[in-house]
Structure 1
Amino acid sequence: MGLPEERGRSGSGSRGQEEAGAGGRAQSWSPPPEVSRSAHVPSLQRYRELHRRSVEEPREFWGDIAKEFYWKTPCPGPFLRYNFDVTKGKIFIEWMKGASTNICYNVLDRNVHEKKLGDKVAFYWEGNEPGETTQITYHELLVQVCQFSNVLRKQGIQKGDRVAIYMPMIPELVVAMLACARIGALHSIVFAGFSSESLCERILDSSCSLLITTDAFYRGEKLVNLKELADEALQKCQEKDFPVRCCIVVKHLGRAELGMGDSPSQSPPIKRSCPDVQISWNQGIDLWWHELMQEAGDECEPEWCDAEDPLFILYTSGSTGKPKGVVHTVGGYMLYVATTFKYVFDFHAEDVFWCTADIGWITGHSYVTYGPLANGATSVLFEGIPTYPDVNRLWSIVDKYKVTKFYTAPTAIRLLMKFGDEPVTKHSRASLQVLGTVGEPINPEAWLWYHQVVGAQRCPIVDTFWQTETGGHMLTPLPGATPMKPGSATFPFFGVAPAILNESGEELEGEAEGYLVFKQPWPGIMRTVYGNHERFETTYFKKFPGYYVTGDGCRRDQDGYYWITGRIDDMLNVSVREKIGPIATPDYIQNAPGLPKTRSGKIMRRVLRKIAQNDHDLGDTSTVADPSVISHLFSHRCLTIQ
Structure 2
Amino acid sequence: MANSYYKALDAISVSEIQALGIPPAVAEKLHKDVADILTAVASPADTWAHISKRVLHPDLPFPFHQMMYYGCFKDFGPDPPAWLPDPDSARLTNVGQLLERRGKELLGSKYSDPITCFSDFQEFSVANPEVYWKTVLDELSISFSVPPECILRENPSYPGGQWFPGACVNPAKNCLGLSCKRALNDEVIKWRDEGNDDSPVSSMTLEELRKEIWLVAYALDTLGLDRGSSIAIDMPMNVKSVVIYLAIVLAGYVVVSIADSFAPSEISTRLKISAARAIFTQDLIIRGDRIIPLYSRVVDAQAPVAIVMSAKGSNLNMKLRDGDISWHDFLDRVKNLRGQEFAAVDQSVEGFTNILFSSGTTGNLGFRVVAVKLH
Shared fold (TM-score, shorter chain, > 0.5): yes
1:156 aligns with 2:224: yes
1:91 CA drift (Å):
4.4
Instruction: Tell me if the contact between 1:151 and 1:293 (Cα under 8 Å) persists in the aligned partners.
Output: yes
Match 2:183 to one of 110, 117, 125 = 117
Tell me the equivalent position of 1:140: 208
Tell me the equivalent position of 2:371: 327
Match 1:35 to one of 72, 79, 89 = 89
CA distances 1:607-626 after superposition (whole Å, capped 9, x unpaired)? xxxxxxxxxxxxxxxxxxxx
Tell me the equivalent position of 1:205: 273
Instruction: Tell me if the contact between 1:313 and 1:328 (Cα under 8 Å) persists in the aligned partners.
Output: yes
Tell me the equivalent position of 2:292: 224
Tell me the equivalent position of 1:106: 174
TM-score (norm 1): 0.42
CA distances 1:208-245 after superposition (whole Å, capped 9, x unpaired)? 000110111212222111111111112xx6xxxxxx2x
Instruction: Tell me if the contact between 1:214 and 1:249 (Cα under 8 Å) persists in the aligned partners.
Output: yes
1:134–1:23: structure 2 CA closer, same or farther, 3 Å change rule? Answer: closer
| Alpha-carbon distance in 2 for matches of 1:95, 1:290 | 41
Unaligned segments of structure 2, at least 5 residues: 1-42, 57-67, 97-112
Instruction: Tell me if the contact between 1:215 and 1:252 (Cα under 8 Å) persists in the aligned partners.
Output: yes
1:247 aligns with 2:306: yes
Aligned residue pairs total: 289
Tell me the equivalent position of 1:131: 198
Give the 5 Å matches for 1:482-631.
none
CA distances 1:492-543 after superposition (whole Å, capped 9, x unpaired)? xxxxxxxxxxxxxxxxxxxxxxxxxxxxxxxxxxxxxxxxxxxxxxxxxxxx
1:138 CA drift (Å):
1.0
| Alpha-carbon distance in 1 for matches of 2:225, 2:295 | 22
Tell me the equivalent position of 2:165: 97
1:232–1:109: structure 2 CA closer, same or farther, 3 Å change rule? Answer: same
Give the 5 Å matches for 1:361-380.
none
1:7 CA drift (Å):
5.7
1:328–1:89: structure 2 CA closer, same or farther, 3 Å change rule? Answer: closer
1:314 aligns with 2:314: no
Tell me the equivalent position of 2:329: 291
Structure 2 counterpart SS, 1:165: strand
Tell me the equivalent position of 2:70: 18
In structure 2, what residue type is equivalent to 1:153? D
Tell me the equivalent position of 2:252: 184
Tell me the equivalent position of 1:596: none
1:164 CA drift (Å):
0.6
| Alpha-carbon distance in 1 for matches of 2:285, 2:324 | 18
Work out which structure has the larger RCO, using CA pairs closer than 8 Å and 6 or more positions apart in sequence: 1
| Alpha-carbon distance in 2 for matches of 1:26, 1:193 | 38
Instruction: Tell me if the contact between 1:217 and 1:252 (Cα under 8 Å) persists in the aligned partners.
Output: yes
Tell me the equivalent position of 2:23: none
1:79 aligns with 2:79: no
| Alpha-carbon distance in 2 for matches of 1:311, 1:66 | 19
CA distances 1:56-107 after superposition (whole Å, capped 9, x unpaired)? 12232112222331221211x3422356xxxx66747531121122111111
Tell me the equivalent position of 1:567: none
Instruction: Tell me if the contact between 1:314 and 1:327 (Cα under 8 Å) persists in the aligned partners.
Output: yes
1:9 aligns with 2:81: no
Give the 5 Å matches for 1:379-394.
none
Tell me the equivalent position of 1:65: 136
Instruction: Tell me if the contact between 2:286 and 2:311 (Cα under 8 Å) persists in the aligned partners.
Output: no
| Alpha-carbon distance in 1 for matches of 2:282, 2:360 | 25
Identity %: 20
Instruction: Tell me if the contact between 2:170 and 2:347 (Cα under 8 Å) persists in the aligned partners.
Output: yes
Match 1:55 to one of 117, 126, 134 = 126
1:154 CA drift (Å):
0.8
Instruction: Tell me if the contact between 2:228 and 2:254 (Cα under 8 Å) persists in the aligned partners.
Output: yes
| Alpha-carbon distance in 1 for matches of 2:311, 2:77 | 55
1:295–1:79: structure 2 CA closer, same or farther, 3 Å change rule? Answer: same
Instruction: Tell me if the contact between 2:90 and 2:115 (Cα under 8 Å) persists in the aligned partners.
Output: no
1:93–1:249: structure 2 CA closer, same or farther, 3 Å change rule? Answer: farther
| Alpha-carbon distance in 2 for matches of 1:224, 1:165 | 17
In structure 1, what residue type is equivalent to 2:366? K
In structure 1, what residue type is equivalent to 2:369? G
Structure whose residues are more often helix by fraction: 2
Structure 1 counterpart SS, 2:320: coil
In structure 1, what residue type is equivalent to 2:188? A
| Alpha-carbon distance in 2 for matches of 1:142, 1:55 | 36
| Alpha-carbon distance in 2 for matches of 1:89, 1:109 | 33
1:306–1:195: structure 2 CA closer, same or farther, 3 Å change rule? Answer: same
| Alpha-carbon distance in 2 for matches of 1:33, 1:91 | 38
1:92–1:186: structure 2 CA closer, same or farther, 3 Å change rule? Answer: farther
Instruction: Decide which structure has the larger Cα Rg and report it.
Output: 2
1:44–1:137: structure 2 CA closer, same or farther, 3 Å change rule? Answer: closer
Instruction: Tell me if the contact between 1:161 and 1:185 (Cα under 8 Å) persists in the aligned partners.
Output: yes
Instruction: Tell me if the contact between 2:213 and 2:243 (Cα under 8 Å) persists in the aligned partners.
Output: yes
1:141 CA drift (Å):
0.9
CA RMSD of aligned residues (A): 2.9
Match 2:321 to one of 266, 282, 293 = 282
Give the 5 Å matches for 1:371-450.
none
Structure 1 counterpart SS, 2:70: coil
Structure 1 counterpart SS, 2:276: coil
CA distances 1:302-361 after superposition (whole Å, capped 9, x unpaired)? 10112221111111114694222201111x2xxxxxxxxxxxxxxxxxxxxxxxxxxxxx
1:172–1:38: structure 2 CA closer, same or farther, 3 Å change rule? Answer: closer
Structure 1 counterpart SS, 2:204: strand
1:44–1:115: structure 2 CA closer, same or farther, 3 Å change rule? Answer: closer
1:159 CA drift (Å):
2.1
Instruction: Tell me if the contact between 1:249 and 1:286 (Cα under 8 Å) persists in the aligned partners.
Output: yes
Instruction: Tell me if the contact between 1:96 and 1:308 (Cα under 8 Å) persists in the aligned partners.
Output: no
| Alpha-carbon distance in 2 for matches of 1:32, 1:79 | 34
TM-score (norm 2): 0.69
